[in-house]
Structure 1
Amino acid sequence: MKRSSGVRLCATAAVSALSLALITGCSDEGSKDSGNGKGGEAGKPAAKALSAAELGKLIIAKGEVPGFKVGPVEGGVPADDAVKADDAACDPLLDVLTGVAPGDPAANTSREATEDKKDPTDDATSMEDMADGKFEDAIKESMDLDVTVVTLSSYDGDGAEKALKAVSDAVKACSGGFSGVQDGEKGKFTKVAEEKSSGLGDESFAFTATNDAGKDGALPLHAELVRHGNTLAGYSTINIGAMMSKKAYTVSAPVLKAQDAKLK
């Protein structure tokens, strides 16, 4: 039985959920990095960054997010020089979307949180017995789960504030979309927009980057940065099943809540 190539590509893409090549498989996209660091107000001691070992104790771990499996990032987070936007002003957005720590962090670490699979609602015994429409619906249902990459990064001085501002400035500068490359894979976002953040931490900022290409229509990626002092928690969430079904989704609230609790 012939299957939709788009469905097969999306199913394969789920294995490495937040790589830009993933969305390219279902449609089209891009990538890279930027920011700054250092600082401290006059008369005040500069904030000292946490070490990688200290961040490792603070990032979410296995069993700490109800309804999610937490582990290493599938395929690893790309090196900051492996992702690059055609317009450097958009680099900070690709940092957050691909799990790269924005700005100039002293240390960073990442985890991936994958939502547990929901029980199937179709009582068919085999996907091979389904008609094409039913098969595609079953694929969408099986892939209707959030995959979130969490990156904790720590900065000297006011580097965390500067990194977050660089991302919020990039949303304005790149609202009309941008192109980029990750590990040789070219891609394109057609729209970037700020969205309501969780309001957690000392400050937070959220945005959506959307690709709108061909028959697949709008394919959004959701991201958020939450600052706790001189530590940033970056979140990038994708849900391929929701994308395919045109259902709304956001950065995973249980992941945000669990990580925020560890940073308080």
Structure 2
Amino acid sequence: MRTAFVRRAVLTASAVSLSLLATACGSDSGDSGKKDDAKGPQQSAPAAAAAKGKSAAELAPLLVAQADLPEHKVEADAAAKAAAGATAGADKPECKPLVQLQTLVPVGKPAGTATIAATEKPKKPSEGASLDDKLDALKGGLAVTRTSVGLASYDGKGAEEAFGALKTASTACAAGYTVTQDAEKTRIEKVAPSAAVTGGDEALAYNTVMDLKDGDKATMQFVVVRKGNTLATFYAMNVTGAAAQPKAVVEAQVKKLG
């Protein structure tokens, strides 16, 4: 039986995928860096010690928007809203930063935060497509990747410290950890580096494999990019169980941060 933690994530992604699929199969009027540390340590540009963090109002315009991602549907992050107020813990204290990112909770003490969600638009069947092709398009429409994007801005060196905590945890927790939320436990079997990401002053990319408790596994992708005293985080999942790294989303958001 899947835990509340798993159900919340999967149901959110499923709802968005079905919504986009309905649009794609309806009328045809539709919506018309630097080096990272994925392969090892790198020299990072330090955030100014006296930097003042941005407020939520100041961060909101810096989030990716629909115009930045025409091949995605960009909207308020329902998953972040659903996670508000929820708490989750890890059986290993050193893994807490990963659990926070996984449950859409900011790491550290940011001065302001802002979130958005970007979901791939399903490919529409070509004009005159056969029934089989249309069915394939329907199946493919469910296999889209949804990415929660978060911005958190910190006073002083808070962004560097939060990034450092996530980087350290991604290595320390390579053998996995257990998340406890709503009195239920979910096992993360492993944490592994993902494809290198270029952008910001320093970047980190990793994936986690979750045991769904019904014989299935789910691979989720995470990217963290620091630009000055602002941290951009990306959490991608797919209802099929295997999410792809959200390169287009990451690139658009990093570009918008300047």
TM-score per shorter chain, which class? 0.7 to 0.9
Match of 2:21 in 1: none
Matched, 1:16 2:50: no
Displacement of 1:126 in angstroms is 9.7
Match of 1:228 in 2: 227
Whole-angstrom CA distance in 2 between matches of 1:96 and 1:177: 15
Displacement of 1:15 in angstroms is 3.9
Whole-angstrom CA distance in 1 between matches of 2:178 and 2:7: 24
Matched, 1:110 2:112: no
Map Cα deviations across residues 192-221 of structure 1 (whole Å, 9 max, x no partner). 112233121000001111024566444211
2:78 match: secondary structure:
coil
Q: Is the 8 A contact 1:99 1:150 kept in 2?
A: no
Match of 1:123 in 2: 131
Matched, 1:46 2:45: no
Q: 1:23-172 to 2 correspondence within 5 Å?
A: 46-75=50-79, 76=81, 78-79=83-84, 82-119=87-124, 123-124=131-132, 140-172=139-171
Whole-angstrom CA distance in 2 between matches of 1:98 and 1:234: 12
Stretches of structure 1 that go unaligned for 5 or more consecutive residues are 19-39, 128-136, 244-248
Aligned alpha-carbon RMSD (Å): 3.2
Displacement of 1:226 in angstroms is 0.3
Q: Is the 8 A contact 1:70 1:114 kept in 2?
A: yes
Displacement of 1:96 in angstroms is 1.8
Match of 2:20 in 1: none
1:226 match: secondary structure:
strand
Residue type at the aligned position of 2:88? V
Matched, 1:191 2:195: no
2:233 match: secondary structure:
strand
Whole-angstrom CA distance in 2 between matches of 1:85 and 1:71: 30
How many aligned residue pairs are there? 220
Change over 3 Å in CA distance of 1:13–1:97 after alignment to 2: closer
Map Cα deviations across residues 43-102 of structure 1 (whole Å, 9 max, x no partner). x75111011110011111233212001111124152476122122211111222232221
Whole-angstrom CA distance in 2 between matches of 1:113 and 1:92: 23
Matched, 1:252 2:251: no
Q: Is the 8 A contact 2:217 2:241 kept in 1?
A: no
Whole-angstrom CA distance in 2 between matches of 1:193 and 1:122: 41
Change over 3 Å in CA distance of 1:169–1:126 after alignment to 2: closer
Whole-angstrom CA distance in 1 between matches of 2:252 and 2:165: 26
Stretches of structure 2 that go unaligned for 5 or more consecutive residues are 15-45
With structure 1 as the length reference, what TM-score do the two structures score? 0.73
Match of 1:237 in 2: 236
Change over 3 Å in CA distance of 1:144–1:261 after alignment to 2: same
Residue type at the aligned position of 1:78? A
With structure 2 as the length reference, what TM-score do the two structures score? 0.74
Q: Is the 8 A contact 1:221 1:237 kept in 2?
A: yes
Identical-pair percentage: 34
Displacement of 1:261 in angstroms is 1.5
1:69 match: secondary structure:
strand
